[in-house]
Amino acid sequence: MKTLLAHADVAPAVLDRARNGDEPAFAALIRHCEPNLRSLAYRLLGDRDRVEDALQETYMKAFRALPAFRGDSKLGTWLYRITYNVCLDELERSARTTYVPLAEVPEPVETGPAADEELANATRSPRGSTPCHPTTGPPFCSSTATASTTAAPVRCSASRRERSRRA
């Protein structure tokens, strides 16, 4: 049966020093287990950058939790489980993230004095010279007029105005 660690487990003295916060001892523990942890993370995540991030988080969690390590299991098994959980967390986080192709990203909005003047002219109400604030607007300024003058969707302007009223 294949074990989680190909090498013999680490010396108890090194583990005790690492438990007491000795960073070189902890680095020795990590060097001992790192190939198997990296392999696990790569099998789960499939991306080297994400693997590096997951391993870094694993090492930080392990360093913080090492004083509480009881030794009921081998150190490699314990680190393996931390790595597995960190990778699952990363997969869950990435499943909630939506990526937009670069081709679908709109062009940046123009800024500067010309854009400021254009915005000032665009935020006038349809009735004339009374300014119509894009988020709060006076009562006579409908959400349709606000949306058309600021180029924001009606539901966006209405929700912004409603949020500002609550504040």
Q: Which domains does the chain have, with CATH numbers?
A: 12-96 (1.10.1740.10), 123-167 (no CATH)
Q: What pLDDT shows up at residue 123?
A: 56
Long-range contacts: 72-77, Cβ < 8 Å, 24+?
A: 74/4, 74/5, 74/9, 75/9, 75/10, 75/15, 75/29, 75/33, 76/3, 76/4, 76/5, 76/9, 76/32, 76/33, 76/36, 77/4
Mean pLDDT computed over 144-164: 52
Mean pLDDT computed over 50-62: 94
pLDDT at 116 over 50: yes
Q: Smallest Cα–Cα separation from 30: which of 67, 56, 65?
A: 56
Token match 């680190």: residue?
79
pLDDT at 135 over 60: no
Q: At what angle do helices 75-96 and 48-65 cross, to 10 degrees?
A: 130
What's the pTM?
0.54
User: Token pair of 144, please?
Assistant: 């349709």
pLDDT at 111 over 80: no
User: Token pair of 40, please?
Assistant: 């696990």
Mean pLDDT computed over 63-68: 91
Q: What pLDDT shows up at residue 1?
A: 36
List CB contacts of 77: < 8 A, sequence separation 6 or more: 4
Mean pLDDT computed over 47-75: 91
Model pLDDT for residues 80-108, shown as the tens digit of each residue:
999 999 999 999 988 887 777 888 777 77
Model pLDDT for residues 32-43, shown as the tens digit of each residue:
889 999 999 999
Say what percent of the chain tops pLDDT 90. 31
Mean pLDDT computed over 124-148: 49
Q: What pLDDT shows up at residue 117?
A: 73
Confidence of residue 7 (pLDDT cuts 50, 70, 90): very low
